[in-house]
């Protein structure tokens, strides 16, 4: 009976309430297919879980706390000087049920000179849904492409060095 009532309740929601979705984050320097291949290797997958755990335990869950540590957002999306680490998923899944008005949004916060943090907020506009890190590319950055797949170790080392700097900066800013 409860299940039927829930289904009936969902069936009468306006279409605007079903606004969740999947966003694929592009990276202008990396090949999406090459990144997916790299992410299937055990080392990259394991490091990805560590990064997700770090973000979950470090980034505050509400906008005022995020902005207390990072200041005002610099924009909605990072510019072309930022790249995503290989170990991080390029997918953002937002929950599907919203009560209008839907004020979900994403903001990008620069973090010192080492990178940035993009934060997605739920429809209440203040609760953090998830966050993704971006690293500041330098002259040693090696894009992940079909041509550079055999140099995965070099790219992972670059990612690890720059992630360590970004993690230190985030811990300092959030006092963790």
Residue closest to 77 by CA, chosen among 141, 134, 138, 139: 134
In a domain, 150, yes or no: yes
For residues 58 and 176, give the distance between their C-alpha atoms in angstroms, rounded to a whole number: 7
> Mind listing the pLDDT tens digit for each residue in 22-75?
777 877 889 889 999 999 999 899 999 999 999 999 999 999 999 999 999 988
Per-residue pLDDT, 92? 84
In a domain, 75, yes or no: yes
Helices (H), the chain: 2-11, 32-39, 42-58, 63-70, 152-174
In a domain, 15, yes or no: no
Q: Say how many domains are in the chain.
A: 1
In a domain, 1, yes or no: no
Per-residue pLDDT, 105? 86
* Residues in CB range of 11: below 8 A, 6 or more apart: none
Region for residue 133 given its phi and psi (left: phi exceeds 0; alpha: psi -120 to 50; beta: otherwise): beta
> Mind listing the pLDDT tens digit for each residue in 114-161?
999 999 998 888 999 999 999 999 999 999 988 998 898 999 999 999
- Host H or E run for residue 115: strand 115-121
Packing angle, helices 32-39 and 42-58, rounded to 10: 90
**137: its two tokens:** 């590319």
In a domain, 154, yes or no: yes
In a domain, 5, yes or no: no
- For residue 30, give its domain range: 22-174
In a domain, 32, yes or no: yes
In a domain, 3, yes or no: no
For residues 147 and 31, give the distance between their C-alpha atoms in angstroms, rounded to a whole number: 10
Structural contact between residues 57 and 176, judged by C-beta atoms closer than 8 angstroms: yes
* Residues in CB range of 31: below 8 A, 6 or more apart: 143, 144, 145, 146
């Amino acid at each position: 009976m409860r299940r039927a009532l829930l289904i009936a309740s969902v069936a009468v929601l306006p279409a605007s309430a079903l606004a969740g979705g999947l966003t694929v984050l592009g990276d202008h320097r990396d090949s999406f297919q090459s990144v997916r291949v790299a992410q299937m290797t055990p080392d990259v997958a394991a490091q990805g879980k560590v990064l997700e755990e770090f973000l979950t335990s470090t980034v505050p869950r509400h906008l005022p706390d995020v902005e207390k540590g990072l200041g005002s957002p610099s924009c909605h999306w990072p510019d072309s000087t930022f790249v995503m680490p290989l170990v991080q998923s390029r997918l953002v899944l937002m929950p599907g049920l919203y009560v209008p008005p839907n004020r979900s949004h994403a903001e990008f916060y620069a973090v010192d000179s080492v990178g940035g943090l993009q934060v997605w907020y739920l429809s209440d506009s203040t609760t953090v849904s998830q966050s993704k890190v971006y690293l500041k590319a330098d002259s040693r950055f090696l894009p992940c492409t079909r041509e550079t797949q055999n140099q995965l170790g070099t790219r992972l080392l670059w990612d690890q060095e720059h992630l360590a700097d970004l993690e230190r900066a985030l811990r300092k800013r959030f006092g963790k």
